[in-house]
């Protein structure tokens, strides 16, 4: 029974495409209405828009940045840092989480140290990373990786601890080898929790990329924030924040969409809406 077969069956089994309004439209109602109201108030001269520029002004700034090619440079820089940092943190988080989750010896040896490291606010590492790795990319990527690591590590370790012993026994009764047990039972069992862990890891990745870029960068969306503050351009700050919102949501959405075929079997409350 191949995995592709599993997926094919999975996708055809639940025809969940509803007709009518796509659900993301509901999510847009609140922000779009708020923006429209503010724009209206601004046009009617009811607000003084020096510190909170009108949506049209922000859009204009965004457009200008996009036209000059600056925006894509900043976005690419930020995404690159997240990709490397998240990649590094997530891979080590999954590896160590699997290790401590499946071996008691490894857990006794490693987990106390890792928990102690987790208690350190991640930003406290910044001076050390800068001393060790310099002020350029490596220290930023290291900070993001540290931020992504812990939620992934904890999530994967916890998901292994939560595997139903009774279901593992089914594998034993069918005489699965260690690798077959891992592939056919353990992996699918930890998948849902692991995906949630990766999503929260990525969320923290965005948080720490801002921190890293605020502390010193010559490009990136975080740099746009600092630059906007120093030059007194609130429209540029808000444009950058808007980009963060869109990119964060988009990347999370990509994880959700990419993994949905693997999770069709689930019937949690959130999916049955």
Partner 1 sequence: MLRLAHLNKVYANGACALDDVTIDIEAGEIVTLVGGSGCGKTTLLRLVSGLEHPTSGTVSVDGEAIFAPHPAIGMVFQEARLLPWLTVAQNIGFGLAHLPAGECKDLVEDALLKVGLAGYGTRWPRELSGGQAQRVSILRALVTKPKVLLMDEPFSALDALTRGSLQDHLLALWDAHRPTLVLVTHDVEEAAALADRAIVLQPRPGRVFADIRVELPRPRDRLSQDFAETKRIIMNALDGSLSQPALSKNNAGATAGSWW
Is residue 258 within the footprint of partner 1 (CB under 8 A)?
no
**Candidate ranges 40-48, 96-104, 138-146, 168-176; the one touching partner 1 (CB under 8 A):** 168-176
Distance CA 48, CA 144 (A): 38
Cβ pair 138, 173 in contact under 8 A? no
**Candidate ranges 29-37, 139-147, 155-163, 178-186; the one touching partner 1 (CB under 8 A):** 178-186
Question: Which positions from 54 to 83 touch partner 1 by CB under 8 A, shown as an x/- string?
Answer: ------------------------------
H helices of the chain, in order, are 3-13, 24-43, 55-67, 70-102, 104-119, 126-133, 137-161, 165-173, 178-181, 187-214, 221-230, 234-259
**Choice from 167, 246, 254, 258 touching partner 1 (CB under 8 A):** 167
What is the total count of residues that contact partner 1 (CB under 8 A)?
A: 25
Virtual torsion, Cα 76, 78, 79, 81, nearest 10 deg: 120
Question: Which positions from 208 to 247 touch partner 1 by CB under 8 A, shown as an x/- string?
Answer: ----------------------------------------
Q: Which residues of 245-264 are buried (b: 16+ CB within 10 A; e: fewer)?
A: eebbeebbeeeeeeeeebeb
**Candidate ranges 37-45, 101-109, 112-120, 174-182; the one touching partner 1 (CB under 8 A):** 174-182
Distance CA 257, CA 104 (A): 35
How many Cβ atoms from other residues are within 10 Å of residue 136's Cβ? Answer: 12
- How far the first Cα of the chain sits from its last, in Å, is 31
Q: Which residue lies nearer to partner 1 by CB, 6 or 102?
A: 6
| 216: its two tokens | 């010193």
Distance CA 114, CA 148 (A): 14
**Choice from 87, 138, 158, 188 touching partner 1 (CB under 8 A):** 188
Is residue 267 within the footprint of partner 1 (CB under 8 A)?
yes
Q: Which residue lies nearer to partner 1 by CB, 166 or 178?
A: 166
Distance CA 82, CA 97 (A): 21
DSSP 8-state symbol, 192: H
Q: Is 53 helix (H, G, I), strand (E, B) or coil?
A: coil
Q: Which residue lies nearer to partner 1 by CB, 7 or 128?
A: 7
Is residue 175 within the footprint of partner 1 (CB under 8 A)?
yes
Q: Which residue lies nearer to partner 1 by CB, 102 or 264?
A: 264
Minimum distance of partner 1 from residue 255's CB (angstroms): 18
Minimum distance of partner 1 from residue 170's CB (angstroms): 5
Question: Which positions from 7 to 26 touch partner 1 by CB under 8 A, shown as an x/- string?
Answer: --xx-xx-------------
Contacts with partner 1 by CB under 8 A lie at 1-2, 5-6, 9-10, 12-13, 166-167, 169-170, 172-175, 180, 184-185, 188-189, 191, 265-267
């Amino acid at each position: 029974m191949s995995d592709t077969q599993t997926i094919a069956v999975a996708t055809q089994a639940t025809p969940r495409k509803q007709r009518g309004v796509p659900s993301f439209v509901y999510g847009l109602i609140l922000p779009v209405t708020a923006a429209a109201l503010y724009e209206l108030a601004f046009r009617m001269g009811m607000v003084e828009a020096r510190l909170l520029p009108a949506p049209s002004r922000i859009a204009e700034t965004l457009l200008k940045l996009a036209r000059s090619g600056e925006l894509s440079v900043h976005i690419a820089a930020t995404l690159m840092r997240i990709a490397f940092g998240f990649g590094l943190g997530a891979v080590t988080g999954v590896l160590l989480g699997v290790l401590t989750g499946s071996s008691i010896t490894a857990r006794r040896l490693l987990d106390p140290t890792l928990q102690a490291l987790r208690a350190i606010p991640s930003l406290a590492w910044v001076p050390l990373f800068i001393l060790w790795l310099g002020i350029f990319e490596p220290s930023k990527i290291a900070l993001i990786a540290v931020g992504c690591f812990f939620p992934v590590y904890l999530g994967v370790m916890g998901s292994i601890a939560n595997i139903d012993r009774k279901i593992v026994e089914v594998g034993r009764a069918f005489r699965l080898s260690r690798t077959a047990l891992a592939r056919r039972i353990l992996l699918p069992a930890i998948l849902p929790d692991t995906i949630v862990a990766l999503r929260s890891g990525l969320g923290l990745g965005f948080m720490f990329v801002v921190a890293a870029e605020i502390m010193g960068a010559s490009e990136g969306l975080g740099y746009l924030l600092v630059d906007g503050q120093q030059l007194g351009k609130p429209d540029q700050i808000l444009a950058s924040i808007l980009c963060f919102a869109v990119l964060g949501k988009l990347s999370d959405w990509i994880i959700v969409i990419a993994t949905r075929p693997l999770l069709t079997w689930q019937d949690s409350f959130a999916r049955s809406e």
